[in-house]
Amino acid sequence: MSLPPAANPALLADKQALLELTLTYCRAIDRRDLALLQSVYHEGAVEDRGGIYHGPAQGFVDLVAKDGANYEITMHRISNALFVVEGDSAEGEIYAEAYHRTRGENAMEITAAGRYLDRYEKRGGRWGIVFRAATLDRCDMRPVDQAAYQQFVAGSVAGEPGPGDLSYKVLTRFARR
C-alpha cells in the first residue's frame, strides 16, 4: 500500500524543491542575476514564449539581459502553483503576475499575468526546468504618475536590479547560494 500524497515526505520535498525553483526564477529575473537564472534550467532546456521567443533557454537568458535594461524595476509574483511529480520528472502549472516599470520621462507601468507551463527533471538530485511555455492571459499598461511616485519613494530604499539591490547586502545567505 502506498502512502497518500500528503503523507509522502519524499513527494512533499520534491514539490517544495519545485516551488523554490520557481521562486528562484522570479528572484533571478527581477535582480537580473543571469547566472542564477541560468541555474534554474537543465542543459538542453527550451523556452517557448510564443512570438516573443522560442528556443534554447540560454537564448532566453540572453534576451532577459538585453531587454532588462528597458526596465527600472520588475517584480514577478507567483500565486497558484500546482505540481505533478512522477519519479524524476514533473510538470507544473504556475500562475504568475509580472510588474514592469519602464525608464525615462514617459515611464509606463506594465502588469502582465499568465501561467508558466513547465516540465522538469531531477538530474543528479537537482530539479531543473527542461521546457517552459508561457501564456499571457492579461496585460495592463498605464503611465507612471511621476509626482506620486517621487513622493512615495522619498526616504525609502528603492529596489533595483543587480547587485546594488539592498537584498544583496542584507540577505547574506542568498549571496552564498
Q: Please, what sign has the CA dihedral across residues 160, 165, 171, 176?
A: positive
**Tens digit of pLDDT for each residue in 166-176?**
888 888 888 76
Mean pLDDT for all residues in the chain: 92
Q: Which residues pair with 126 in a beta bridge?
A: 123
Mean pLDDT within 38-54: 96
- CA 120/CA 94 separation, integer angstroms: 13
- CA 144/CA 109 separation, integer angstroms: 6
pLDDT tops 80 at residue 147: no
Rg (CA), the chain: 18
User: DSSP per residue over 20-64, as a string?
Assistant: HHHHHHHHHHHHT-HHHHHHTEEEEEEEE-TTS-EEEHHHHHHHH
**Tens digit of pLDDT for each residue in 84-135?**
999 999 999 999 999 999 998 899 999 999 999 999 999 999 999 999 999 9
Q: Is the CB of residue 21 less than 8 Å from the CB of residue 40? A: yes
- In the chain, what are the domains? 5-175 (3.10.450.50)
With cell 526616504, the residue in question is 155
Q: Return the closest-CA partner of residue 107 out of 144, 75, 139, 140.
A: 144
